[in-house]
Structure 1
Amino acid sequence: MDPVTVVTGGSRGIGAATVRRLASAGHDIALCYRQDSDAAEAVLTDVHAAGRQGIAVRADTTNPDQVAHLFEAAAELGEITGLVNNAGVTSQIGPFVDLTLADLRRVIDVNLIGYVLCAQEAVRRMSSGAAIVNISSAAATLGSPGEYIHYAAAKAATDTLTIGLAKELGPQGIRVNAVSPGTIWTDIHTVSGLPDRPARVANRVPLGRAGYADEIAAAITWLLSPEASYTSGAILRVAGGQ
């Protein structure tokens, strides 16, 4: 049976790199996106070029009905064997006291509640041998003072979700892990108001640079592979030494 993997936020950044790498590794893919259908179709073209089945589903991962539709569509490709919980947002960088309620709710909704909803739908359809990878962040332990503490807090919750799910689902043969990226060159920084942030913070990183989306995708792909068959409950930090 060929693996069938759902990747949320699969039209850009880490998600798109992950979709492409997984397709090259033999996965059929259901990717979801929220707005940019052209970007999603471009990624899907690469999936098909790799000889794999693929679908792109427009879905807001904070909406339970849309999440259910995503997984119903994915199940048409075959039994779901993998989930990459990747869809995420941040907000304007700034002092903690300037955080708006709207930004707080949006960050928590997407980065935590969306992960929970997608994991629930995935687990309902998974059997022994399946795996979930949640995308966390090095911010979960660094705290992101002066930038986005609320985002860091949401990612710390992702780590806790990962550990709890790994323990609960282990007896069913379902592995759950997280990848914790450092600062990566993606367009998420545009939303924060600092599109060049990866260059600005490179001097904080022991390896002296920001990372690239494909470096994170490589870690995700390994955690979904049979080579990681005894790895569960791990939070794999890919952050250049931070």
Structure 2
Amino acid sequence: MDNHITIEVDDKFIYNLYKASSTLWYFDQLIAGGFTGYNSIKFKDKNDVFVWLENIEIEGKYYKGVLAETGQPEIVLRKESVDWLLIDNQRLIGGYTIRHYYNMLSEDERVNFEIYCGYRIDHGNDFFRPDRSTPEGAIITLENFYNENNMEGILSCKDFYLEAENVMQEHNMDWDSEIHSKVVSVLRVSLLEDLENKGFPNFETIERVFNLIERRKDQELIEETLYYPDGFITVNKFWVGLTKDNGWKVLNLVE
């Protein structure tokens, strides 16, 4: 693994580091389950240089492995990891700092970089924990409830009060509590009727890639790109809101 490439630190890079941190649980789960393919984590060594540690074993709060450049054994605190990667069927999973660099390259440079690395770099697949601790996880949680046709679960992932506020704001409507209550009711009924008429969507075989589009007070606009097995791709943008006691909730879809 080449540790000497130059990476532009911008908002996209910061978000990629966030994605690496938020999906590390998935790496840990596969390693603990006996994953036998190539695997590695990235950390900053004592010389303040970011390096890769390969062939990971998990020992309590530590990662144990060998340094990619020297082959020397090393033990690192798990909390010091800033990125992770797996190679599955010659395909890169994770590797968010590598992807960031790859996306900065021209088409020809990308081909050469893949040849150099020896694996395929495609859209990837973001394995956020399926809970409401992150905006992306809230979206996955909602989609899992769709898979189960679980109406109670679906409604638990929504906050129609906040969503109604967004709708009123987008339509430049002055605040009025009575109108707000009506919008809340309309949004809830519309969702129920839509599911009754069209059925529950299914997300069981898709791959997801998330991007942060905008951030405002206690809300984030998240873009989710869905990749289907037949090659079909859809892109949706959701406002996701942080509630006081129930984590992140999925709000309105942005056209």
TM over 0.5: no
Higher strand share: 2
Higher helix share: 1
What TM-score do the two structures reach when normalised by structure 2?
Answer: 0.28
